[in-house]
Structure 1
Amino acid sequence: MKKSTLFISFLLLIFLSPFFFPQIPGLVNYGEESGLNNSYTYNLSQDHNGFIWVGSDNGFFRFDGKEFIQYSKKSGLKNLEILSSLPLDNGEVFIFPFLNDFAYLKNGHIINSDSNKELRKIQFKYNANYSYDHQSVYIFTSYNPENIYVFKDEKVTTIPLHFNTHNSSDIYYALTLDSATHLLYLSNKNNSKENILAYDIFTGKKTTCNIPLGKEVTLYRKDDFFIFKEKRKITIYQLCNKFIFKKIQTYSVKENIHQVIVDKNYRIWLCIEEGGALYFRETLKDHKKLTTPIPFLSGNIINHLMVDRDNNTWFSTRNNGVYFITEKFLKSYVHLPVRNNSAYITAISKNDNNILLGYNESKAGIYNSHAIRDLVFEENRKIEHKAIVSDSNMVFFGLSRSLVQYNMATGQKQILGDFNLKSIVPYTNNSILICSSEGLTSYHYPSRQYTEMIRQERVYTALPYDKDSLFAGSFKDLYKFNTKTKEKKLFLEDYYFTDLKKLSSTVYVGTTNRNGIIIFTNHKILHKLSENTGLPTNQIKKIEVENEKAFWASTNSGLSRVEITGSRFRINNFTQPDGLPSNLVAGCVIKNDTIYVGTSKGLGILSVKDLLMQQKLIEKKAIINSVMIGHKEFFNVNQKFISQAPENDIMFNLSFPDYVSQGKIRYKYKVEGLGESWLISSSPKIILNSVPPGEYILKVFGLGYNGRQATIPTEMYFEIKPQFWQTWWFRTLLIVGGTALLFILINWYFQKKRNKKLETLYYEKKIAELELQAIKAQINPHFIYNCLNSIQFLLYKKDYEETENYLNIFSQMIRKTLYYSEKTFMPVKEEVEYLSLYLNMEKLRLKEQFEYTIKVSETVNENWVIPSLLIQPFVENAIKHGIASITDRKGKIGIFFDYINASLCITIEDNGVGINSVNQSITKTGSFGVRLSQKRIETFKQLFETHITLEIKSFPEQESKHGTQIKLYITPYEN
C-alpha cells in the first residue's frame, strides 16, 4: 500500500512539476504546432540574413520568426539525422549529418552527392567533427583521423594527416582545429599523462603543449578559451600562444554535465544530463570567479543553445522543440527582482509602501523589498479578485464572491460577507463604494455600517465627482446619482464602463468594454479613443492616472500610455516584447519612475523612462527569399529579373527575421511604376498578377510588434518586357500601316466617288457640249436675223451705198462668226477685232448715232483666251436697249479689258437709259442674247471649271453719268 502511494505521489509530482517550477517570463516554445515537426533538435546556427537554422532527427529547418521551412527527403536529403547546418558567407548552408551523406543548400535547393560528386570524397567510419571559418568547412573524425576534408565553393579538397608515425597502436583523438593557425589539437587516449599535441596540418610539425588531457575529459573551445569537462567539473584554460595554456579556474556542480556552451558574449552555459541549463553571469573575458549559476528550463534536456546577433537566446531540446527568450526577459530573469513571481494577477493597487496584488483565486500578495508575501483568504477557493482599495493600513480585497478587509499593521483579516461583486472604489474618508449585481452600497468601515444607494440594479463601477454626486455605470449606461435626493439621471447611453478615474478637477476618463476610452466632463463627451486612433483594442480594463496629461490603459492586448497634448493624443503601446510578463494585463500602478504591471504571468516591474525610450524602428531589413515568375521560382535574388508576358505573374516570398516580435510580422510595400500608395499585408507573399510591360521597383518594409517599422526598405528592380505587339516600333508600324490602310480605303472611297462623279460629269459634259452647240446654233441665227433686219432697213430707205458697205462688213462678220462659233475659246486680241468689226457695222447702220472705245490694259496678255462670242451679245444689248433709245445726247459705248485680282475683268459701259436691276433688264427688254450668254456662262463653269462672274448694274441718275455697266470676271488662260 505504501509503495503504491509513493508511486502515485511520484507520478503526480512529475505531472505537476511545471506548476511548481517558476515560469520564465517571455519564454516562448516552438514545437510541432509551430511547424517544427521533429522529436530531437540538435545544433542551432544563424546566417548573415538573420535566419535561424535548426538541426533535427527529421531533416533541418529554417526559421524566420514567423514560420519554419523544413528540408527533408523530399528536398533531397539522403540522411535525415542532421546534427548541424552551417551557414557560409557565400549564402550556402553546409549540412552536417549523422555519419555520411553530406550535402549543402544553395539557392533554395539541396545539393547531395548525386548532384555533386565532390561530396563523395567525404567518408567516415565514425562520427565526424568540424571547424569552419564562414568560408570553408573543415571536416574530420575525432577517432584517429587520417584526413581533413575542406569544403569550399562546392569543391572538396583532402589534407592527409601523418601525425601517428612512431607507434601505430596509439589512439589519438582530434580535439579541435584552429583554421586560422592550421593547428589540430590532439590527445593520446592510451596515455592520459601525455600532453596535448598541436599538429600543423600543412607542414606536419608536431608541438607538445603544456597540459595533459584525461581519458574521460571532453574539450569545448571558444576562440582562445579551452574548457575541459569531466563529469561534474569544468576547468577553464586560456591559450596564451599556440602551445601554452594558462589555467583560469575550476568549477564543480552537483549534476553531471551533458554539454558545455560558451555563447557569443563569452558566458558559460552548462547543460545538465538530468535536464535544464545553468547560466553564469560572469564572462570569460572578465577573468572573474564563477559565482552561483542561474537555472533555466529545468526538466528539459538541452542539446544546444545559441545567442543570436540581437542577444536573444535559443535552446534546442530533446523532445520539446526549441525555446526562445529575448535579451530583455533573460536579463529580467537573471536579475529577477521578485522570486516565485508567476501567479495570475487579476487586480493590482498600492499604498504608501507596498504593491497589492489580487490573484485569480482566494489569495493575494503584498510586494515589498523585492519579495512577495502571500495572503491566503480561503483555501482552494477559485474566486478571482475584481479590485483592491487601500486606505493607509486598511486594505480591501474585492473578490468576485466576497469582500475581505485586511489590516496591514495587525495582520488581521476579516471576510465582510458574500457579494456578487463587480468592483470596489474609494469613496469618502473611511468608506468605500461596493459595486455589485445587487446595486451600489457604501461601507463605512470604522462603524461597519452599510448604506444602500442604488437598489436592485447591476452597478459595475462608480466615481464620486462632487460632494453629493457620483457617476454610476451599469452594464449599458452611465448615470449621475445624487446621494442626498437619491435622484438618478441618465448621462451617457450605451456605454459599458469598466473603470472611471478623475483626470483633473473637471475632466474624467473612463474605460469601456467595447468602445475604447471616453474622456468627458460632467456635461459632455470631449474625446473618444479607439483602435482607429491607435489603441490595440476597444476592450479596456483599467485606468491608472500618471498626471493630468497622461494615463495608462490596461487591456488583454498589452499596456497603453496616452499622453494629451492640446487636442491631440500620443499613444504608445507596450506588449510582451517590451518586457511585460504577458499581454493579459489586469491593471497597473505607478510609483515614481517605476510602473508595476499585473499580468496573467506575474508582476512586471518596469522603468517608465526605459519604456518611453524604446526604439520606434527596427534595425533590420525585410528579406526577399525568392521570386516566382510564372511557374518558375528563383532563389538567387541578386540577379536582374526580366520577364515577358504571358510570364508576367510575379510572387515575392518575404521574411522579416525580427524574433522579438514573436511572429507578429507584417509587410508594408509599394511597387513604383504600378502605384504610389503603400499597402500593408500580414502574408509573407506579395503577389502581382498580370503586370503590364514596364520597369518597376518593389519597396518593402518589415513591420514588427506594435507596428514598429524597419529602418530602411528592401528594394528590388524587375522588368516586364512587352510582346512584339506591345512594343513601340510595332505600335508605330501598326499606326503607320493603319493610317496607310485608312488612307487607301479613304482614297479608294473618294476615287470611287470621284469616278462616279467624273462619270456623271462626263455625261453632264456631253449634255453641256450639246447644249453649248445648241446655244451656238441659237446665237448664229439670232445674229444673222438681226443683221438681215438691218439690211432690210437700209434697203427700205434705199440707201444702196450704205447697204453695200454694210454687206461687206456683214460678210466679214458672217465668216468670223461662223469661224468662232466652231471654237470654244478665242484670244483677247481676236475678240477685240471681232468686237471692232461688229461695232463698225452697227455704227454704220445707226448713222453715227454712237461712238465706241475699246481699250486693253498693259497688264492684259492679248494671247489669253476667253470663251468665244461671250461679249458680243452684251455689246449688242447695250446698242439695242441703251443707245438706240436716247435722243438728247450722243451714245457712247466703252469696252475695257483689265487685269484685277488675278482675274481678267471685261467692262462694257453705255450711257443709255440704264436699267434698275439685272432681272428688269432681262425680262423687260427681252434680251435673248443676254439670256443665252448667261446660259453659256453656267455651261462653261460646269464644263470647264472656268470661274466666270457676271455683274450688271445701272448708274443712278446723276448729272455726270448715265447708262448701264456690265462686268465679266474671267480666270484667264494663256493660249
Structure 2
Amino acid sequence: MAKYPKALCFFMCILYAGMTLGQLDITKFTKYNTLDGLNHNHVTSITQDSTGFIWIGTENGPMRFDGSSFVSLTTLNPLYADQEIYTVKLTTLGKNELGISTTYGAFVLNTYDYQFHTLQYDVDAALTTWTYNTYDVQKDRWGYYGVSTKTGFYIYDDLYQPVASKHVYSVDDIGTAWMLYGRNIVLTPDGKLFQKNIEGYNVFDDDSKKILRNPDVYQLDTALMSHDGELQLNFIDSATLVFYSPLKRKIYLQDLSTGTKKEYVLPDKVSANLSWFSKIVVRNDSTLLINGRKGAYIIKYDKAQKTLDFLPELQLPDIEVTTFYVDHDGRLWIGTYAGLYKENNPLPVERFPFSIAGKTDLVNIKWMENVNGTWYASALQDGLLTFDEHFNLKDQEVFTENNVPVRLSKMLRYDKDHLWICCSEGIMDYNVITRQHSLLVFKEHPEYLKNVVIHEIYRERSGDIWVSGNNSNSVFRIDKTGDHIHLVELNDANPKFKVNLIYRFREDAQGNVWFCGDAMARYNRKEDRVDSLVEKLPLQHNQRKVFILHSNSKNELWISTNGENWHTYTEEKGWSVVDDPKLNPDPNKYQTLIGDDLYFISRQGKIIALNTLTRKYRILSAIDGWDQEKINSYGFFKDPDSDYLIFTGDNVIYRFASELPASHQVKTPFVSEINLPGNKVLHHPDGNLTFGSDENTFQLKFLTLNFDDPFNQVYAYRLKETEQTNWIPIDQPEINLTQIPPGHYNLEISVSSKNNEWAPVYKSYPLFIQFPFYMQWWFIVLAISGLALGIWLLIRYRLKRMRFISNLDRQVIEYELKALHAQMNPHFVFNCLNSIKEMIMSKDNKNANIYLNKFSYLLRSTLDQSKLSFVPLSNTIDYLRHYLEMEKLRFTHFSYSIDVQEGIETDTIVMAPLLLQPIVENAIWHGQSEALDDNQLCLRFYICGDDLVCEVEDNGVGINAVKSTQTSGMHLSSALENITKRIELLNRKHDLHYRLSIIDKSEMNKGHGTIVKLSFNHKHDESD
C-alpha cells in the first residue's frame, strides 16, 4: 500500500481577532423591506413599547411589528390617516404610551387601545409649518410632556393642555431666519426634561412650571452647547453623558456627578464619514455605536474607568444607517434607507465549512473520532482528514491499494493510540502517534478479511469486536486482544442466521449480541450460536425489512423498521409503538444512541434528539442552520470535551449542543384584537372576556412576541368546558367562533415550536357569553310571576264561569221545575182524575182505560224529559200528540192537527224538552172560543234556513182578548214569562238562538186566533 504526500489545507487567519469581538456582521441580521410588509423602506426611527411590540417609523407612518407581521397605525386606528404620516421619531414614554414626532404634529399614542392625542401649540397659521415640525417628544417622571420643534420647546400636562413654552420665532422670521431651533430631548438623572437646541439647552422645572435656559445645574459646557447646535445627547447611565460634536469632530464623555469631561478626537477619515445626523446609541454597558454617512463604528466603554475606546474599523460599510435601537432583550435593530435589519440569535447548529486544496468535488465525511483534541475523519476515497478543535483542516492522508484510493468509512478507537478503520480492503489499523497504518491480518485465518468491504464495526462490553462486510449472513468476531478472529455464519450450527447483510450490531442486557439486517438474529454468547430469529415485530403492520436495534440504560429496546415508527420493548410492559408521527425514523439514515439519548433523522428529514427514558425530544430543521438534504455522516459523534454533537454534510462540519439553550424563551401569547359584530373592534382585552348574547360570533386574533424564530410557531386553541376538551390546531393565530351558547368558558390559546426548540406557552381567558334577556333571572322571575298570575286569573275566570254556568243550570232547573209544576199542577191532575172517575162511573171503561194510559205516559215522559238537557224532536212531537189526545177526550169541541215538513229528520234534531207543552196548553185553555163548536189547533214543524220553526196556531179569541181578562191574563203572562226566561237561559248557556214570537191574527186581518212561533238553530248535536 502506498501513501499520498500530505495535502494540507489551511484556513486564512482573521486579522485583529481581538477587534472582531462584537463586530457587526450583516449576515447575522434578517432584513425586512416593503416586500415583507413595511410601508416604506426609509426607516426613520425604531422603539419598543411596554408590551414588547417593535414600532418602526417610516415616511409612510408608524408600524407595529410582532416578529411575524407588520401592521400600520392607520390599520389599528383609521382616524390616524387624517394626520401627517411622515414619522421623524418614535419614543417610548412609559407604560402603554408612545410619542410620535412628525413633520406636522406631535402625538401621544396609547398602545393599548391605539387612541391618540395631539400635542398642539396655538400659533399663527403662517408659522404652523415650522412650529408643528416636531423633532422629539418626551415625558418626565411627573407626567409632563415635552415637545421639541423647529420653533421652540413646549410643555403639556397629563390632560394634553399647554403648560409652558419657549417660542423663538415669529411671522416676521419667515423667509429671513433659518428656523431650526429644537433638537432631541433626554431625561436628566433627576427625571427632568432636557432639550438640546441651537442656543444651548433648556430644562423644564416642574416646581415652578418654567422652562430654564442653560441652567448651571449639571456642570455642562454651556459655551460648547450654544456654539454647536447639532449636538446629539445621550446618557450611558444615570450620571454619564456622551455626545458627538460635528463642529469639533470630537466625542465628549461627561460625568455629571463629578463634572469630569473627557474629549476624544476622531481620525479625519472617521470624522469625514460622520455628520450632524450621526447619533450615539448605547448597545450594552460596554459598547456604543455611532452611525455615519456609510456604515457605523463601535465605541468601547470602560464603566469603571469612565473612558472610551473608539474602534476606527468601519462596520456595515455598504449600508446607510439612519438609526439604531436595542430592544429589551439586547437585540440590535438597524434602520436604513433600504429597510429594517434585525439581529438574529446564534443558530442552534453551527457550521464549519472546509475545503481541500485543489479539489473541486464535494468531500463526504462518513465518520469522526476525537483523539486527544484532534478530530480524525474518514472521507471515502478522499482518505483520512484531521481537524483541530475548531474544525480547521490540518492534514489529509489518502491510502491506496494497487494505485486505487482505498475508501474509508466507519472507525473504532481501538485503544488510545490506534484507530481501526473500516475500508474497502478490510480493516485498517492506524497509529495516531506514528501515523503508520496497515491492514489487519490474522495468522490463523489470513483470508477472513481480505478484500472484504467492511461497513460495520462494534465493540461489546466484554471487549470483543464484531465486524460485518458485504457477505450475507456472516460476521467476524475478534477477541479483545486483537489477535484472534472467529467466523459466525449461516450453517447447520446456525440455521436461524438469516438476516442477509448486517447493518448494525447491538448487545442486550444479558450480553447477547443482535445482528440487524433484513431480520434480527440473536447470538447467544453462552451457547456460542445463533438461537433466535425475528423476521417481523409483534406490532409491525407492514412486511418491510431492515431492522435497527438500540438498548438504553434501563434495558429498554428501541427498534426501527422500514416505514413504521419506533417499536419498544421492556420485560415489564412488553411491546409498544411510539405514536408521534414526527418521530418516525428514516432507516436509511444512521442512528446513534449516546447514553440514553437517541439521535436520528426522521422521515421528514429533521434531526431528532430523543431521550428514550423521558420521551422528551427536540427537532432541528433547516431553519436551525443545517442543510437537511445533504447530511453524509454515518451518525452523530460526541465531543468528549464538551456537550456538543457533531455530524457532517458536503464540505461542512456541523455542531450543536445536546441541551437546549436556557436563554431561548418565548413570551406568553395574548389576545391582540377581537372583531365583534357591527364592525366593533376590541384591542388588547383584559383577562376577562364578557360579551352580550348577540355578540356570540366573533373573530379573535392572538400572538406571541417572537423575534427569534416566528416561523417555527404552531398554534392551537380550545374553548374549554371540561378537562377533556381537545386542542384544535390552526394555521394562523386567528380564531373564528360562531354561535357560542350562553354560559361560562375558558378560552385557552397555545403557541409551541415546530421543532420543540422551546417549551409551549399558554394563556387562558375566562369567557362569558351573557344569556339573552329571556334567560336572565329577573326575566324568569317576572315570567314565572306573570304565568302564575295568568294561571290564577284563568282559574279565577274559570271558577267564575263555572259558578255562572252552575247558576244558569240552577235557574234552568228552577224554570223547568216550574214548567213541570205548571204542567203537573193539581188542577190538571184533579181534572184528569175526575174525568177518569166519571168515565168509570158511567161504565165507559174503554175511554177511561185509554185516558188513564195516556195520563200515565205523560207522567212518565215528563219525569224522564226533566232529567235531560235535550231530547229528539220525535219525542217532543209524540209527547204533544199524547197530550192533545187526552185534552180532546175532555174537550170535544176542538180538533187539532200536527204537520211535519217532509224531509225533517225528527230523530236527529234535538231541542230543549217540555218547551212546547206550555204553549199548547195555553192555546187550549185560554185560546178556545166558547162561541165556537169547532175550535182548531194546528202544530207545524218546518225548516226555514238553518232554523227549525215550531208553530202553534189556534182560531180562538186571540191573545190580546185573553190578556184583557184578569184571571186568564195573569195566568197567561206568568206562563209566557216562564217560557221567555227559560229561552233566555238556554241561549246564554248553549248559544242556540231560540226565538219566541206571538202574533194575534186579528192584527194581520186573518180572522181570530193566535200564532205562536218557536224557532231555533237545528244544526247542533246534543253535546252542545
TM-score by length of 2: 0.53
- Aligned partners of 1:510 and 1:543 also within 8 Å: no
Taking the aligned partners of 2:396 and 2:457, their CA distance within structure 1 comes to 22
The residue aligned with 1:221 is 234
1:727 aligns with 2:776: yes
The residue aligned with 1:39 is 41
SS in 2 for 1:203: strand
SS in 1 for 2:50: coil
Taking the aligned partners of 1:308 and 1:455, their CA distance within structure 2 comes to 63
The residue aligned with 1:562 is 611
The residue aligned with 1:646 is 694
**Structure-2 change in CA distance of 1:346 and 1:284 (3 Å):** farther
The residue aligned with 1:879 is none
2:53 pairs, out of 26, 38, 51, with 51
Residue type of the partner of 1:96?
Answer: S
Taking the aligned partners of 1:69 and 1:287, their CA distance within structure 2 comes to 42
Taking the aligned partners of 1:317 and 1:732, their CA distance within structure 2 comes to 67
Residue type of the partner of 2:676?
Answer: I
**Structure-2 change in CA distance of 1:643 and 1:580 (3 Å):** closer
The residue aligned with 1:573 is 618
Residue type of the partner of 1:325?
Answer: N
Taking the aligned partners of 2:299 and 2:86, their CA distance within structure 1 comes to 31
Residue type of the partner of 1:221?
Answer: N
The residue aligned with 2:389 is 369
- Aligned partners of 1:45 and 1:54 also within 8 Å: yes
The residue aligned with 1:311 is 330
The residue aligned with 2:898 is none
How far the C-alpha of 1:709 sits from its partner, in A, is 6.0
How far the C-alpha of 1:637 sits from its partner, in A, is 3.4
How far the C-alpha of 1:490 sits from its partner, in A, is 1.5
Deviations 1:344-365 (A, max 9, x none): 9986643333445689997997
The residue aligned with 1:603 is 654
SS in 2 for 1:734: helix
Residue type of the partner of 2:328?
Answer: R
- Aligned partners of 1:464 and 1:470 also within 8 Å: yes
Residue type of the partner of 2:89?
Answer: S
1:89 pairs, out of 86, 94, 112, with 94
SS in 2 for 1:65: coil
How far the C-alpha of 1:505 sits from its partner, in A, is 10
**Structure-2 change in CA distance of 1:395 and 1:675 (3 Å):** closer
Deviations 1:498-520 (A, max 9, x none): 86444359654345675444444
Taking the aligned partners of 1:361 and 1:306, their CA distance within structure 2 comes to 51
Taking the aligned partners of 2:583 and 2:166, their CA distance within structure 1 comes to 63
Q: Which has the higher strand share?
A: 1
- Aligned partners of 1:536 and 1:573 also within 8 Å: no
Taking the aligned partners of 1:231 and 1:205, their CA distance within structure 2 comes to 20
The residue aligned with 2:516 is 472
Residue type of the partner of 1:306?
Answer: Y
Q: How does 1:349-498 map to 2 (within 5 A)?
A: 349-353=368-372, 354-355=374-375, 366-373=386-393, 391=414, 424-426=456-458, 461=504, 463=506, 470-474=514-518, 490-492=535-537, 494=542
How far the C-alpha of 1:161 sits from its partner, in A, is 5.7
Taking the aligned partners of 1:225 and 1:350, their CA distance within structure 2 comes to 54
**Structure-2 change in CA distance of 1:651 and 1:481 (3 Å):** same
- Aligned partners of 1:347 and 1:358 also within 8 Å: yes
Higher deviation after alignment, 746-755 or 463-472: 746-755
The residue aligned with 1:689 is 738
- Aligned partners of 1:358 and 1:365 also within 8 Å: yes
The residue aligned with 2:104 is 100
How far the C-alpha of 1:632 sits from its partner, in A, is 0.4
**Structure-2 change in CA distance of 1:593 and 1:93 (3 Å):** same
The residue aligned with 2:253 is 237
Q: How does 1:633-672 map to 2 (within 5 A)?
A: 633-635=681-683, 637=685, 643-665=691-713
The residue aligned with 2:558 is 509
Q: How does 1:957-972 map to 2 (within 5 A)?
A: none
Taking the aligned partners of 1:679 and 1:372, their CA distance within structure 2 comes to 48
- Aligned partners of 2:643 and 2:658 also within 8 Å: yes
- Aligned partners of 1:693 and 1:722 also within 8 Å: yes
- Aligned partners of 1:544 and 1:589 also within 8 Å: no
The residue aligned with 1:203 is 212
How far the C-alpha of 1:226 sits from its partner, in A, is 0.9
1:622 aligns with 2:669: yes
The residue aligned with 1:140 is 148
- Aligned partners of 1:389 and 1:396 also within 8 Å: yes
How far the C-alpha of 1:48 sits from its partner, in A, is 0.6
**Structure-2 change in CA distance of 1:247 and 1:59 (3 Å):** same
Identity %: 14
**Structure-2 change in CA distance of 1:385 and 1:707 (3 Å):** same
- Aligned partners of 1:209 and 1:244 also within 8 Å: no
Q: How does 1:226-305 map to 2 (within 5 A)?
A: 226-228=242-244, 235=251, 237-241=253-257, 245-247=261-263, 261-263=280-282, 265-270=284-289, 284=303, 287=306, 290=309, 301-305=320-324
Q: Which runs of 5+ in 2 are unaligned?
A: 1-22, 171-175, 205-210, 356-361, 399-406, 441-450, 491-496, 827-1024
How far the C-alpha of 1:633 sits from its partner, in A, is 0.6
How far the C-alpha of 1:129 sits from its partner, in A, is 3.5
Q: How does 1:27-176 map to 2 (within 5 A)?
A: 28-30=30-32, 34-36=36-38, 38-71=40-73, 76=81, 80-89=85-94, 91-97=96-102, 99-100=103-104, 102-103=106-107, 105-106=109-110, 109=114, 123-124=129-130, 129-130=135-136, 132-133=138-139, 138-140=146-148, 146-150=151-155, 153=158, 154-155=160-161, 159-160=165-166, 176=184
Deviations 1:437-484 (A, max 9, x none): 99999899999999999999777655477999643235xx65668998
**Structure-2 change in CA distance of 1:61 and 1:461 (3 Å):** farther
Deviations 1:389-425 (A, max 9, x none): 655667689999x999987557799999xx9999755
**Structure-2 change in CA distance of 1:719 and 1:186 (3 Å):** same
Taking the aligned partners of 2:608 and 2:567, their CA distance within structure 1 comes to 17
SS in 1 for 2:212: coil
Q: State the aligned residue count.
A: 723
How far the C-alpha of 1:118 sits from its partner, in A, is 10
How far the C-alpha of 1:50 sits from its partner, in A, is 0.8
Q: How does 1:338-357 map to 2 (within 5 A)?
A: 349-353=368-372, 354-355=374-375
- Aligned partners of 2:89 and 2:136 also within 8 Å: no
Q: How does 1:587-602 map to 2 (within 5 A)?
A: 587-591=636-640, 593-598=642-647
Deviations 1:670-691 (A, max 9, x none): 6688988574655433444334
**Structure-2 change in CA distance of 1:460 and 1:709 (3 Å):** closer
SS in 1 for 2:94: coil
- Aligned partners of 2:545 and 2:562 also within 8 Å: yes
The residue aligned with 1:932 is none
Taking the aligned partners of 1:277 and 1:443, their CA distance within structure 2 comes to 65
Higher deviation after alignment, 112-121 or 59-68: 112-121
SS in 2 for 1:314: strand
Higher deviation after alignment, 268-277 or 85-94: 268-277
Taking the aligned partners of 2:144 and 2:452, their CA distance within structure 1 comes to 70
How far the C-alpha of 1:47 sits from its partner, in A, is 0.7
Residue type of the partner of 1:596?
Answer: L
Residue type of the partner of 1:473?
Answer: G
- Aligned partners of 2:742 and 2:768 also within 8 Å: yes
How far the C-alpha of 1:628 sits from its partner, in A, is 3.0
TM-score by length of 1: 0.56
SS in 1 for 2:72: strand
Higher deviation after alignment, 653-662 or 207-216: 207-216
Taking the aligned partners of 1:80 and 1:458, their CA distance within structure 2 comes to 72
SS in 2 for 1:624: strand
- Aligned partners of 1:422 and 1:435 also within 8 Å: yes
**Structure-2 change in CA distance of 1:61 and 1:366 (3 Å):** farther
**Structure-2 change in CA distance of 1:86 and 1:448 (3 Å):** farther
